[in-house]
Chain A
Amino acid sequence: MRENLAERNTLSGRVRAAANAFGLPRLIIAGFLLLMFIVAPFVGNDFWTQISNVINRFSWNAILVLAMVPMIHSGCGLNFGLPLGIISGLLGATLSIECGFTGTLSFFAAILIATPISVVLGAGYGWLLNKIKGGEMMIATYVGFSSVSFMCMMWLLLPYHSPTMVWGFAGKGLRTTISLEGFYDKALAGFWQIKIGTLEIPTGTLLFFALMAFLMWAFLHTKTGTAMTAVGSNPTFAKAAGVNVDRMRLLSVILSTWLGALGILVYEQGFGFIQLYNAPFYMALPAVSAILIGGASVNKASIANVLIGTFLFQGMVTMTPTVMNSVIHMDMSEVIRVVVSQGMILYALTRKTEGGGR
């Protein structure tokens, strides 16, 4: 400890301490992204278009990344079961359209319908995770997969009728991709949208995310939020201090699932389409690696981690294809994305965690 202090007093020590605090992998990715931004204008990509793209992608994905926070806080680990929340969101979305809501109203109707579904599914999921403490991440992954493949059957079987959603020739069974035009396409993004030349900022979506992030931040400052953090930090301590550990974990899983549902709805309004069937399968992995890139660990995460992580990850995902294509005429972005994001998860998994659950 004293050495640390001494180190902080020299300049190089201070730089090193800052670098350590920021984390080497984050530094590399941030550097890479910065390089992309610098190179982009030289190879013929419009700088402001690039910025707009990154901000757009950020606004679509930020809430999905935010959905990681509650479960990490309560010690349930990385929420590989995010597809469960996404499915609640998809049910909300399709039911909202089926019920005949249109325009921006359909967005809020979708949230309203998705909420009870995500609470019920999240409660079941949380109950399961409480029975298998210590093995959460693997089981979460497969709970996600099972639910997605189960819903694949359900999308075909459930009695949907809305002509905008079902296959035209069969008259039943939902399409794989449903256009949101006329429903909640850009429901948030269009709100107070700023357009200056090629720069486009989806103010509404960003504000919505800011609201959610603020609520999450506020929740973590309440008595219950404090208890949740303590459960993740040291469950035995929390138990000895009279906190009902299982209930806190359950609450965190429900919150995560609900945010997942919300996240996919926000994603869809930006993207303009609902993607069903196999689409939710691998949606957890980008969110997981984004928050890890943001500097979170398996049992610690903050709103800042969400912000930084989503920005870096989405920045990388949007910038690399265009820049790479212009520079070397090879689209290696997919490969880079996979290697970086999975590498980040591996890095987090192989690090020792302190004060973790017994």
Chain B
Amino acid sequence: MEEKKSFGAAALEFASNNIVPILFVVICAVCIPLSGFSVSYLLNEIVTRMGRNIFLILCLLIPIMAGMGLNFAMTLGAMAGEIALIFVADWQIWGIPGVVLAMILQIPFSILLGLLCGSILNRAKGREMITSYIISFFLNGLYQLVVLFMMGPIIPIKHFSIKLPRGYGIRNTVSLLNMRQCLDNVFAVTIGGVKIPVLTFLIIAVLCLFIVWFRKTKLGQDMRAVGQDMEVARDAGIHVERTRLISIVISTVMAGFGMIIYLQNMGNIATYSSHSQIGMFCIAALLVGGASVDRASIGNVFLGVILFHTMFIVAPRAGAAITGDSMIGEYFRVFCSYGVITIALVMYETKKRRNKSKTAQELARAAAEETAKEAAK
């Protein structure tokens, strides 16, 4: 039936399925010339941001596979990563050893947070996204409690450079100058003025391979089954709750690693705000790459990072060029992030409903045909 679809119809279908990426290509195409950035500057920026963000975005893939939607609670992993880095900075262990130590240190934190988050989400089946979104706020409160009040009097923090002058709590920014880009600089190659952080990309490549491999494991298969139909999976003997829990824990731990990679590139921690926006930007980037709430691939991640961050880089300058006010561009890119998430959510929900009504239509048509046949007799 679908063989003889005309080219036009096929193109239209492609466009409607990929409306978000196409929209972003258009935005970028308009804004790049307006911004007046040089190609090498743009490339440099994009490559840096790819290295910085891809790991974080990849951690969203596994909960999507397990049918839990966009994991807004990935910020939990980011918090775990920050806490680990604060400790490492306090102990003054810098460079690669510091990064590696922080990565090891964050694992128990994020496993703990992941378990907490996963078990709450298991109690809120069917509204995982809004719940994970609120969890990220809730944990942000607890994070502040720990970092702002307990670090110092209860959790020993010695180094004055990161402690607030009042004697307890951590400063608004913790400098990681001594480990800044230490991963990125290993084996870094410069091609045509574009610095490529080879080691970071290698780590990302390993993670991609891990995800590809993971999909093929028994656990990955179980997650896909649970994601599509929990009841059927349960009847087949799969431990549904446990599987969902594992998917969240993996995601949180990966987000922890990702956050450390992100922060070593930035060179400092904004103690109370680094993590709060990260979830939103990662999710927006993934959706810009053409992913949806129930389906996302590694390709979506790469395409999304490139498109989203191109927009992010060029929007302020382009906005200033058009309106003469650089703030417009700043607001525009925030609007784009939220707008993209809104569109993706709406498309996901309407598609879910459309699929249902389609089956109803088919049944009705069959019944009508039969009625006609009977009338003819």
Contact = CB atoms under 8 A, between A and B. Distances in A.
Interface stretch (A57-65, A193-201, A341-349): A341-349
B115 to A, nearest CB: 15
A218 interface: no
Nearest to B140: A338
Contacts of B349: 131-132, 134-135, 139
B350 A132 contact: yes
B345 A138 contact: yes
A334 interface: yes
A36 interface: no
Interface string A318-346: 00000000000010101101110011011
A157 interface: yes
B214 interface: no
Contact of B135 (A80, A131, A337, A346): A346
Given A131-B353, A332-B145, A156 B325 contact: yes
Contacts of B337: 149
Contact of A139 (B123, B328, B342): B342
A131 B354 CA distance: 10
Interface stretch (B94-102, B124-132, B223-231): B124-132
Contacts of A335: 141, 144-145, 148-149
B99 to A, nearest CB: 30
Interface string B334-377: 11011101100110111001000000000000000000000000
Interface stretch (A7-15, A140-148, A205-213, A235-243): A140-148
A137 interface: yes
Contacts of B131: 346, 349-350
Interface residues of B, number: 38
B302 interface: no
Contacts of B124: 349-350
Contacts of A337: 141
Nearest to A140: B130
A290 to B, nearest CB: 15
A339 B142 contact: yes
User: How many residues of A sit at the interface, in one of the four size bands?
Assistant: 35 or more
B149 A149 contact: no
A272 interface: no
Contact of B335 (A135, A153, A350): A153
Contacts of A134: 349
Interface string A227-262: 000000000000000000000000000000000000
B113 to A, nearest CB: 14
B134 A349 contact: yes
B210 interface: no
A334 B149 CA distance: 12
A342 B346 contact: no
A328 B125 CA distance: 41
A69 B157 CA distance: 47
A342 B141 contact: yes
Given A285-B137, A343-B138, A345-B134, A156 B346 contact: no
Contacts of B346: 128, 131-132, 139
Contacts of A128: 346
B328 A153 contact: yes
A142 to B, nearest CB: 4
Max chain A C-beta neighbours (<10 A), residue from B123, B129, B328, B334:
B334
A204 interface: no
A95 interface: no
A337 B140 CA distance: 12
A237 B334 CA distance: 42
B141 A146 contact: no
Contact of A149 (B123, B127, B134, B338): B338
Nearest to B123: A350
A220 interface: no
A332 B131 CA distance: 25
Interface of B: 120, 123-124, 127, 129-131, 133-135, 137-138, 140-142, 144-145, 148-149, 323, 325, 327-328, 331-332, 334-335, 337-339, 341-342, 345-346, 348-350, 353
14 contacts: A132-B345, A132-B346, A137-B127, A139-B346, A142-B338, A146-B338, A149-B335, A149-B337, A173-B325, A334-B144, A335-B148, A339-B138, A349-B131, A350-B131
Given A132-B345, A142-B342, A335-B149, 6 more contacts: A133-B353, A135-B345, A149-B337, A156-B331, A339-B142, A343-B138
